[in-house]
Amino acid sequence: MLPMVDLKTQYQQLKSEIDTAISQVLESTQFIMGPQVRTFEQEAAQYLGVPYAVGCASGTDALHLALRAAGIGPDDEVITTPFTFIATAEAIRYVGAKPVFVDIDPHTYNLAIDQIEAAITPATRAILPVHLFGQPVDMAGVLAISDAHDLLTIEDCAQSFGADIDGRQTGSLSLAGCFSFFPSKNLGCYGDGGMVSTQSQSVYERLLSLRNHGSSQRYHHQEIGYNSRLDEIQAAILRVKLQHVDRFNQARRRVAERYRDALTAMGIQVPLEDGIGTHVYHQYVARSPQRDRILAHLQKSQIGCAIYYPIPLHRQDVFAADYADTSLPVAETVSKDCFALPVFPEMTDTQIDTVLHAIEQAIG
């Protein structure tokens, strides 16, 4: 079986470092909000090039806390993409705001910048672009629109840790960046975990309170907050992996390069690197009208594969009634023919060849 991501191989390669880090936490008996979390936040902030980073319980919480810290609430509208994991839109709903879905670019799968302005209304407060699959969004285009209309911009960086635009990391280009450390992510822990990066001291201080029951001083609560704390063991694991993340991302790009040449020759549409930033390939998502045939053969060959994403958010049951009249043709079309192939830093040339051979067999 060739998996979508091989966490076991990565663990074996880092076993000594990770086991030592976990053991040190166990010996310290400091499991919540201890020195590992504080140090990881400092190291992550330095890596991203921002003054502040706040660990939290998940990537979903990172989005939720960032929106609340930015003051987004009921009756506000937030422009975002329909082609992403549901957490992006869930977080907008959590704060009482309304997601306004804008169609996507058919090649990068990111928010179509040229369609944002038409979606702005007097209720619009923010734009929430997603650096999907590790491909940075055209942030210069987004920020030009948000600045012109006095809107906030918050980045969903759940899939883009280590991606940059002209040397500036995603998550450092707007009011806040929201990261997920789900195990399969480019920088992943061994459970749930998340983080918000920001250049705003006021947002930072609000995040510290919100993640800890609305408290900035023990047993003093200024607002209703949440229990959303990154634990010490996960922070210790992330500190180890952060030292290797650039190497991991370069290895992902090597896999993508092998895929690109071979799949293009087979007539399959490969992910576009549009020259805006460095793609870090959290997922390798291609397109083909023969998708179902390809997936069936990959599954039969015990090769990991998936569809990201089979149903755009505006067509999900939970949102369908509110967006029944919304037509986003590109997202709807891409969802019908896109498919994801295995991509992970430890992937060997032999494994890549196995995937490519299976696809070649599938399409005849």
pLDDT at 195: 99
pLDDT of amino acid 27? 98
Give the CA count within 13 Å in the CB-facing half-sphere of 198: 25
Domains and CATH numbers, the chain: 7-102+109-242 (3.40.640.10), 245-363 (3.90.1150.10)
Please tell me the predicted confidence (pLDDT) of residue 121: 98
The structure's pTM equals 0.97
HSE, CB side, 13 Å, CA atoms: give it for residue 160: 29
pLDDT at 98: 98
Residue 217's DSSP bridge partners are 220
Query: Nearest 5 degrees, angle CA 256-CA 259-CA 261?
Result: 110
**Res 30: pLDDT:** 96
Give the per-residue pLDDT at 364: 82
CB 80 within 8 A of CB 101: yes
Sites in the chain below the pLDDT cut of 50 = none
C-alpha–C-alpha distance, residues 271 and 135, integer Å: 9
The C-alpha torsion from 236 through 240 and 243 to 247, rounded to 10°, is -130
